[in-house]
A and B are shown apart, each in its own frame.
Chain A
Amino acid sequence: MTQALLEDARQRLWVPAGIEQQDVDRLMGRLMGRDVDLGELYFQYQRHESWALEDGIVKDGAYSVDQGVGVRAVAGEKTGFAYAEDIMLPSLTAATEAARSITRLGQSGSVPAPFRQTVPARYGATDPIRSVSEEVKVAVLGQVDTLARSLDPRVREVNVRLAASHESVLVVASDGTLAADVRPLVRLDVSVIVEQNGRRERGSAGAGGRFELSRLVADGTAESLAKEAVRTALVNLDAEDAPAGPMTVVLGPGWPGVLLHEAVGHGLEGDFNRKGSSAFSNRVGEQVASTLCTVVDDGTLDERRGSLTVDDEGTPTQATVLIEKGILKGYMQDKQNARLMGVSSTGNGRRQSYAHMPMPRMTNTFMQPGTHDPEEIISSVGKGIYAVNFGGGQVDITSGRFVFSATEAYRIEGGRLTRPIRGATLIGNGPEVMTRISMVGKDLALDRGVGVCGKDGQSVPVGVGQPTLRIDEVVVGGTSTG
């Protein structure tokens, strides 16, 4: 981490409240009761802005500022947590007293001197909200609307939303952590409704990442999203009922990687495995997927939505191999679960905000490419479906059962794509489905940067990706049994 980032965060978070290093040291001393393994102060300041177009006009915009300090005391498997939404010493002191209440009263512990690691920043520190003028933001939304409507006369409604946030965090912990990060995050979403002969369908597309807003506005992204949203809506206008029952499924590259997120990702988070509540618990070293599968969680990718220079515990992110050639290699860890399982944090300790406790979460989760041409994979299927777009998914990590719902899919008949089918949900058991992956394409792609992952009521931005995959059998939940 650069000195500049740390200084930036101090200026933003400590200086306005008159907080100095010695105040933080004193709070940390109070927090460290006799049994406390880890004491932590997490300072955060976040600004968010969004603009929305509907009915051809930019009718709404919103701006928010959120700031606060999360205070955590960890003792073995126990955690005490409190927060203050003003960064002022009296509130901080009160939160510290509340957080330490889990431990028996004892002498204050000692805190080692902070250390800093040098970590290359994974994104720029420029404020994306200010990187483009309001006039340009409003104009871009209007251009997307005009373009989408010009693409096809069947386009009836267009909604466009542009959002940007800028976040400063500073983490001080009793293990010597002193880390700062300044994080930009932007996204642009387009959704349309098309209508023909009384039938209506929707289509949507979005893109984003940790970079300046000017990138979304300038490089043709807005145009491509408008075209994509209209295209998918029109495809669905012609779609017929999806089939029902077990069948061969080919998944397209990129966003369908939500399969990995649900089928294996959550089940490999350290907390579930420490508690023994995951279908993957105690299975490191075992075959949990076909030998074609190598799955990685990588928070270091430049400017990706799921990337972080350091996680929310101040640990640098890394590329963690979860599954290598089908063998389970390890779990994603935060500090507490890593310590309890006798391993190191993998830089996956994340939290929605200062007001939430950190836990192991994914960053960018994807499968490494294989050797097949995508066309070869589709032509290998006599009868099945090809799904290229998904709305989202969910998993029950204990049974391993997961679902995800297609928003664009086609029948495969005789090795060729034929008719589009309406939204169908795929359901399976993670460890079972992964062993049925029989072909992996060479076309690895990551999603365009709109993923949101929910766990225990906390949302964080994530990325997913995969090459084209063939799964020999998955249950497809359509309505057509013929």
Chain B
Amino acid sequence: MTNQLPDLRDSEQRLKNRVQDILAEAGRQGASAAEVSVSEDVGLSVTVRMRDLESVEFNHDRGFGITVYFGQRKGSASTSDSSVEAIRETVRAAANIARHTQEDPCAGLADPDRMAHDLPDLDLYHPWDIDPEAAQTLALECEAAGLGFDQRVRNSDGASVSSQRSCRVYGNSHGFVGGYVGSRHSISCVLIAADDAGMQRDYWYTTDRNPDALEAARAVGLEAGRRAVAKLSPRKVKTGAFPVAFSAQTAGGLAGHLLGAISGGALYRRASFLPDSLGAQVAAEHLTFSEAPHLPGALGSAAFDGEGVATAAKAFIDRGSVASYILSSYSGRKLGLATTGNAGGVFNLTVSGRTLPVDELLKELGSGLLVTDLMGQGVNPVTGDYSRGATGFWVDRGEIAYPVDEITIAANLKDMFRGLVCLGDDLDMRGNIRAPTVLIDRMTLAGD
């Protein structure tokens, strides 16, 4: 086997043909409608630890999933088997399920007039011709920089270089077939610092579709080392109510809770803390959440959603009010609304609002907590009750004073978004949700 990853541009047409074959088989087996997703992923991941190679992993995944409809009944099946025989067997398994499910008036494909027609090239595929040796060299450079940052960086959980390529094709019996190839590369490092009070770990990473846009390996290692050392000798905080800032790295998750609450699935199941909120003020009046699905080269870009519906730029939260729910065809029908082209979620969502330089945001915070890590699952999406473990820094009169840990922070998400004071100017662009540091006026901290 060569150590070169295959070029997946060659796969796209083959996978499109495969989608057609699978849809044809579904028709032969009597399905009134069907939709198919086929994917191929290849990649390489190299990890070094304590200045030596730890692992070389090659991945190559293929598979497809089909959903068939017999009128209003539905069944799904998937397999990693790429044989011709597997097509027949998998369609048969889906059809067998559909014979036993019950009629669902909302089931079915997206409406045909919502299918994406223009499939622009979104510049998502930037293969990195890196072999295991070169990846190892880069990972070693990354880890060495971090280990050399400070004498207190004593141990490592490894530095990794990963390069992935994927091809995804979706098609349905309306005649829609769309596909794209994409790439994603990353360099990451986890380091452990120690002093008399104990050990602390932290990490840093860079990720992009284009290898040329990655942060330097050395910079990633240095930042991991800096962060691990900064956490040493943490203190506890006094129990009480204080302002809390969420770092840009943790704010994306916080934004995700609000997005979840205005998502169709949670809304029609009555499992959202913001039911019937379309048009309602649910957050501070300066806050806007908007998506931009067609940004060239961005991690969350796509011309069509998970059911072939054209994606489009829009705001979900506009100056604090719910401007749009996040809907698929199915959840839309359940709510008596049209799909928003968000089957599978949002695309390149940016959190914006009243923005200050981070040092000024900390001044506005005054005395309270800057959260850098969150732990646990203490979020109740039905009630909005929020209680999670936190690590970070105590901020005293606008300045970072010392590291703190073993704290819980608690409030209700409804109050948190209404009490969102301002944002930092440090948007974290490494994910599908791009958020900056977020300042919340008041939460309950539990510590000593």
Q: B-contacting residues of A (Cβ < 8 Å)?
A: 51, 54, 57-68, 77-86, 94-95, 97-99, 101-102, 134-135, 137-138, 156-157, 159, 193, 195, 199-202, 242, 244-246, 275-277, 279, 355, 357, 391-394, 396, 398-405, 422-425, 427-429, 475-481
- Given A59-B74, A424-B387; A481-B241 close (CB under 8 Å): yes
Q: Are B378 and A405 interface neighbours, CB within 8 A?
A: yes
Instruction: Say whether chain A's binding surface is mostly helix, strand, loop, or mixed.
Output: strand
The residue from B93, B97, B132, B387 contacting A477, defined by CB atoms under 8 A apart? B387
Instruction: Flag whether B83 is at the interface (Cβ < 8 A).
Output: yes
Q: Which residue of B lies closest to A478 (CB)?
A: B410
Query: Roughly how many angstroms separate A364 CA and B69 CA in the complex, as a whole number?
Result: 41
For A98, list chain B residues within 8 Å (CB). Answer: 1, 3, 58
Q: Which residue of A lies closest to B47 (CB)?
A: A79
For B37, list chain A residues within 8 Å (CB). Answer: none
- Given A63-B93, A242-B387; A79-B54 close (CB under 8 Å): yes
Q: Are A57 and B103 interface neighbours, CB within 8 A?
A: yes
Query: Roughly how many angstroms separate A380 CA and B322 CA in the complex, as a whole number?
Result: 50
Q: Are A85 and B63 interface neighbours, CB within 8 A?
A: yes
Q: How many contacting A-B pairs (Cβ < 8 A)?
A: 265
16 residue pairs bridging A and B, Cβ less than 8 Å apart:
A59-B107, A63-B77, A65-B80, A193-B382, A195-B270, A200-B382, A279-B199, A355-B61, A357-B55, A396-B201, A398-B192, A403-B378, A405-B378, A475-B446, A478-B444, A481-B444
- Given A202-B380, A475-B446, A477-B389; A396-B269 close (CB under 8 Å): no
Instruction: Flag whether B120 is at the interface (Cβ < 8 A).
Output: no
The residue from A63, A68, A138, A478 contacting B387, defined by CB atoms under 8 A apart? A478
Q: Which residue of A lies closest to B44 (CB)?
A: A98
Query: Roughly how many angstroms separate A58 CA and B107 CA in the complex, as a whole number?
Result: 12
Q: Are A60 and B406 interface neighbours, CB within 8 A?
A: no
For A275, list chain B residues within 8 Å (CB). Answer: 49, 155, 157
B67-99: contact bitstring with A at CB < 8 Å (1 yes, 0 no)?
000000011111111110010011001101111
Query: Roughly how many angstroms separate A159 CA and B445 CA in the complex, as a whole number?
Result: 34
For B399, list chain A residues within 8 Å (CB). Answer: none
Most A C-beta atoms less than 10 A away, residue of B53, B75, B410: B410
CB distance from A56 to the nearest CB of B (A): 9
Instruction: Flag whether B10 is at the interface (Cβ < 8 A).
Output: no
For A137, list chain B residues within 8 Å (CB). Answer: 100
- Given A61-B101, A85-B62; A201-B382 close (CB under 8 Å): yes
For B90, list chain A residues within 8 Å (CB). Answer: 63, 65
Q: Are A399 and B3 interface neighbours, CB within 8 A?
A: no
The residue from B239, B376, B405 contacting A394, defined by CB atoms under 8 A apart? B376
Q: Are A401 and B76 interface neighbours, CB within 8 A?
A: no
Instruction: Flag whether B151 is at the interface (Cβ < 8 A).
Output: no
For A480, list chain B residues within 8 Å (CB). Answer: 444
For B410, list chain A residues within 8 Å (CB). Answer: 242, 244, 424-425, 477-479
Instruction: Flag whether B32 is at the interface (Cβ < 8 A).
Output: no
Instruction: Flag whether B57 is at the interface (Cβ < 8 A).
Output: yes
Can you list the 7 inter-chain pairs with the closest CB atoms, starting with the nearest? A477-B408, A403-B389, A403-B376, A405-B378, A61-B97, A425-B378, A244-B446
Instruction: Flag whether B312 is at the interface (Cβ < 8 A).
Output: no
